[in-house]
Chain A
């Protein structure tokens, strides 16, 4: 079984400041890793994913994440946030060669202030 921990339930940050949203996972097998964003009253949109290869993954809207196998982490970063980045962010994992279902963390609410 796998699990995902997002340590910060809320992250307030000022506009144009950098941000890091933390994600740690637990799994006895290798995993695929995903970050999704959810805007109010909408579905989830994929920001980026890690399947294999380079551990630094670039996504949409200027976001990037780094896979760290030894730390079992996949933290999401953006060097300069905008008001429009205010949303809920979910980290998720799935298993290669098997169960396709995503296991989600509890989410981090990013609140960008002017």
Chain B
């Protein structure tokens, strides 16, 4: 029973390029959450999605960042025109969506912007 999968595990981009991070939730989970962890800090919520819907994007930066969770395929977090400050670990979590449910976390994608 595979857990939450994220790829790539490591991603290097130059300033101005685009970064695409992928997340496949656990089997049976239809709710996905994205979090960002800056060095030496805790995780900060970015966005919460259900299939084909954005439920809560209150933590997403207003520009350059977008997320989707299509009917088929993984959830994608997209960062356009990356800057050095985007360097961080990006974690995806999934759940069944019931109140109080555990969120199961993936191993993360470590983005480095040169």
Seen from chain A, the residues whose Cβ lies within 8 Å of a Cβ on chain B are: 4, 6, 32, 34, 36, 41-46, 49, 51, 90, 94, 96-97, 99-107
Contact = CB atoms under 8 A, between A and B. Distances in A.
A28 B92 CA distance: 28
B48 A101 contact: yes
Contact of B99 (A34, A97, A106): A97
Interface residues of B, number: 27
Interface string B93-111: 1010101101111111000
Contacts of A4: 42
A34 B104 CA distance: 12
A94 B44 CA distance: 13
B100 A51 contact: yes
B107 A42 contact: yes
B12 interface: no
Nearest to A32: B100
B91 interface: yes
A46 B102 contact: yes
Interface string B42-59: 111100100000011011
Contacts of B56: 99-101
16 contacts: A43-B4, A43-B91, A43-B108, A46-B103, A96-B100, A97-B99, A99-B56, A100-B33, A100-B56, A100-B95, A100-B99, A101-B58, A102-B103, A104-B42, A106-B41, A106-B42
